């Protein structure tokens, strides 16, 4: 493959890290193009990514199910309008089986480091068990939200009961009749709280910032509809397109227009008033920041659960823990058997979860120390032949992440084809191209609700949004439609003087 590579036989053309939606989607598309020289390294023993791992009660998607599948693999059999975790996990297992991905996947392969060698134009992949592999191109399909964020709470190590993060749920622990504290009121919390509230003896809900919650209108999909979708697939496609257009046209407008944001807030407060009669509780649940600045949450059963007698909404913050109890910052002591941390994830793309060394030994985590940045969320200057799926500034604020993943897959296929056509070169995005792209991205955030001044994981410490795409998703699709080789440097393998 490369003129200076002595161990060419062991070098695979493409290594994909991760067998979730991104890695599997790319693998299927590569196969369909007749490319066989690729491997997927997956740290777990099954496919599925976050949909394999997040098994807390109530875990589900807040994007309509018909939008939450590959465009080339519709699922007429979704059981609900919003897919629960196990259904989405089953869907991914079905895709893996149907497209025979297992022959390309190495399971239980946890990548611990990546290093590029400019003399051979090859990436060395280190695994945590000491194994090594080599690939010409690496695609990091490692997901954006998968490293749990554990809060630092004084005394947590002394607590004698159970402590569980929503993303690391212990299915063998029973909550029936237990006294439980839930910390956090984000997307995970509003799903787990209604699922466990009827079972537990008491539920102390520690809310730091009240979220905006809107009704989800979730419900079962009738068998007759499934039958129609199986018989006339275009009907499902129509529904999918209608849902896409709704999310795409209505929601962004609310993010950009302050009048519409106010209207959304009015609707949110109206919904809260309809469900929560007690004005004191309602005041505690009313958000104090502009709608959309943090993720708007969808739920039909969160507020109805919070008003139940066995739920105690604590708004004073967590002070500390002792062996048997959790203390509010106001000094109240609540004896509990279990603490559920619904405290979210390490800020995505704030760095790679492993050392990544590019040209001249540069370190991606150092380069991204003050905020991550890539070209179109995929290529990073100084790290040739390396691509991200769902990298910086490609998170959707309003529509399905699968739409973005498929846009990136189309681009990456062109990138990899170009690479295959230039076997003695490696390619690197020009720094000035990456810089201009990111200046434009940041300019587009100005005046949106995302920069209206809330404390959100979307933002870096200095207020830069490195997570979301600041525009319509169709604009992202258009901008990733064509791979433009003029934007890249093509470097001769062995020409280390770069």
Contacts with ligand N01, residue ranges (CB under 6 A) = 61-62, 145, 151, 183-189, 206, 208-209, 295, 318, 342-345, 455, 457
Nearer to ligand N01, 135 or 205 (CB): 205
Determine the distance from the C-alpha atom of residue 218 to the mean position of all C-alpha atoms in its chain, rounded to a whole number. Answer: 21
Nearest distance from residue 145's CB to ligand N01, in Å? 5
Pairwise CA distance, residues 213 & 476, whole Å: 27
DSSP states along 182-226: EE--STTHHHHHHHHTTTSSEEEEE-SSPPPEE-----BPPHHHH
Nearest distance from residue 94's CB to ligand N01, in Å? 19
* Cβ atoms of 377 and 392 closer than 8 Å: yes
Nearer to ligand N01, 148 or 494 (CB): 148
Q: Which residue is nearest to ligand N01 (CB)?
A: 186
Nearer to ligand N01, 193 or 427 (CB): 193
Nearest distance from residue 259's CB to ligand N01, in Å? 25
Nearest distance from residue 66's CB to ligand N01, in Å? 15
Nearer to ligand N01, 23 or 348 (CB): 348
Nearer to ligand N01, 402 or 493 (CB): 402
Nearest distance from residue 317's CB to ligand N01, in Å? 6
* Cβ atoms of 164 and 341 closer than 8 Å: yes
Q: What is the 3-state secondary structure (H, E, C) of 401-445?
A: HHHHHHHHHHHHHHHHHHHHHCCCEEEEECHHHHHHHHHHHHHHH
Number of other CB atoms surrounding residue 182 within 10 Å: 27
Structure tokens at 108: 């239980």
Nearest distance from residue 334's CB to ligand N01, in Å? 14
Please choose, from the candidates 146, 133, 144, the residue with its C-alpha nearest in 3D space to the C-alpha of residue 15.
133
Nearer to ligand N01, 191 or 385 (CB): 191
- With H, G, I as helix, E, B as strand and everything else as coil, classify residue 274: helix
256: which residues sit within 8 A by CB, 6+ positions away? Answer: 447, 448, 449
* Cβ atoms of 371 and 466 closer than 8 Å: yes
Nearest distance from residue 350's CB to ligand N01, in Å? 13
Nearer to ligand N01, 306 or 429 (CB): 306
* Cβ atoms of 73 and 95 closer than 8 Å: yes
Structure tokens at 496: 């280390």
Beta bridge partners of 116: 123
Nearest distance from residue 187's CB to ligand N01, in Å? 4
Pairwise CA distance, residues 305 & 311, whole Å: 8
CA-based torsion, 472, 476, 481, 487: positive or negative: positive
Nearer to ligand N01, 125 or 349 (CB): 349
Nearest distance from residue 295's CB to ligand N01, in Å? 4
Nearest distance from residue 87's CB to ligand N01, in Å? 13
Q: What is the 3-state secondary structure (H, E, C) of 86-104?
A: HHHHHHHHHHHHHCCHHHH
Over its C-alpha atoms, the chain yields an Rg (Å, rounded) of 24
Pairwise CA distance, residues 169 & 90, whole Å: 19
Q: Which parts of 27-77 are beta strand (E)?
A: 38-41
Pairwise CA distance, residues 362 & 382, whole Å: 8
Nearer to ligand N01, 60 or 416 (CB): 60
End-to-end CA distance of the chain: 21
Nearer to ligand N01, 330 or 366 (CB): 330
Nearest distance from residue 167's CB to ligand N01, in Å? 7
Nearest distance from residue 457's CB to ligand N01, in Å? 5
Please choose, from the candidates 372, 382, 207, the residue with its C-alpha nearest in 3D space to the C-alpha of residue 302.
207
Please choose, from the candidates 407, 447, 282, 348, the residue with its C-alpha nearest in 3D space to the C-alpha of residue 143.
348
Nearer to ligand N01, 317 or 447 (CB): 317
Nearer to ligand N01, 70 or 99 (CB): 70
Determine the distance from the C-alpha atom of residue 418 to the mean position of all C-alpha atoms in its chain, rounded to a whole number. Answer: 28
């Amino acid at each position: 493959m490369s003129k200076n590579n002595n161990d060419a036989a062991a070098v695979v053309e493409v290594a994909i890290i991760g067998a979730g939606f991104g890695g599997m989607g790319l693998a299927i598309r590569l196969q369909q193009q007749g490319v066989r020289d690729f491997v997927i390294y997956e740290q777990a023993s099954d496919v599925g990514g976050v949909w394999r791992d997040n098994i807390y009660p109530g875990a589900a998607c807040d994007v309509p199910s018909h939008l939450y599948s590959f465009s080339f693999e519709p699922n007429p059999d979704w059981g609900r309008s919003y897919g629960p975790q196990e259904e989405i996990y089953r869907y991914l297992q079905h895709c893996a089986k149907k497209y025979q991905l297992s022959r390309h996947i190495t399971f239980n392969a946890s990548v611990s480091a990546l290093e590029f060698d400019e003399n051979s134009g090859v990436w060395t992949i280190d695994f945590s068990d000491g194994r090594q592999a080599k690939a010409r191109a690496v695609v990091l399909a490692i997901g954006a939200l998968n490293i749990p964020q554990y809060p630092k709470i004084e005394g947590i190590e002394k607590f004698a009961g159970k402590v569980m993060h929503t993303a690391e749920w212990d299915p063998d622990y029973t909550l029936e009749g237990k006294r439980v504290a839930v910390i956090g009121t984000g997307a995970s919390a509003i799903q787990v709280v209604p699922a466990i509230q009827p079972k537990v003896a008491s539920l102390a809900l520690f809310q730091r910032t009240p979220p905006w919650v809107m009704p989800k209108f979730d419900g079962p999909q009738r068998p007759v509809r499934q039958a129609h979708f199986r018989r006339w697939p275009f009907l499902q496609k129509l529904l999918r397109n209608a849902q896409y257009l709704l999310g795409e046209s209505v929601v962004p407008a609310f993010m950009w227009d302050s009048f519409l944001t106010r209207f959304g807030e009015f609707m949110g407060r109206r919904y809260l008033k309809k469900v929560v009669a007690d004005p004191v509780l309602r005041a505690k649940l009313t958000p104090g920041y502009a709608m959309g600045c943090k993720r708007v949450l969808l739920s039909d059963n969160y507020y109805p659960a919070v008003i139940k007698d066995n739920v105690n909404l604590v708004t004073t913050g967590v002070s500390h823990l002792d062996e048997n109890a959790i203390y509010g910052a106001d000094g109240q002591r609540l004896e509990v058997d279990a603490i559920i941390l619904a405290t979210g994830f390490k800020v995505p793309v704030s760095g790679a979860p492993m050392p990544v060394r590019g040209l001249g030994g540069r370190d991606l985590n150092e380069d991204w120390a003050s905020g991550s940045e890539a070209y179109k969320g995929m290529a990073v200057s100084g790290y040739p032949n390396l691509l991200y799926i769902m990298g910086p500034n490609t998170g959707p604020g309003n529509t399905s992440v699968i739409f973005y993943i498929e846009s990136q897959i189309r681009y990456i296929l062109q990138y990899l084809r170009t690479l295959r056509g230039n076997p003695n070169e490696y390619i690197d995005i020009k720094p000035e191209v990456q810089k201009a792209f990111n200046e434009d991205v940041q300019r587009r955030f100005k005046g949106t609700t995302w920069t209206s001044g809330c404390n959100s994981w979307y933002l870096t410490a200095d207020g830069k949004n490195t997570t979301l795409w600041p525009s319509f998703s169709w604009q992202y699709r258009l901008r990733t439609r064509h791979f433009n080789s003029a934007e890249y440097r093509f470097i001769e393998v062995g020409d280390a003087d770069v």
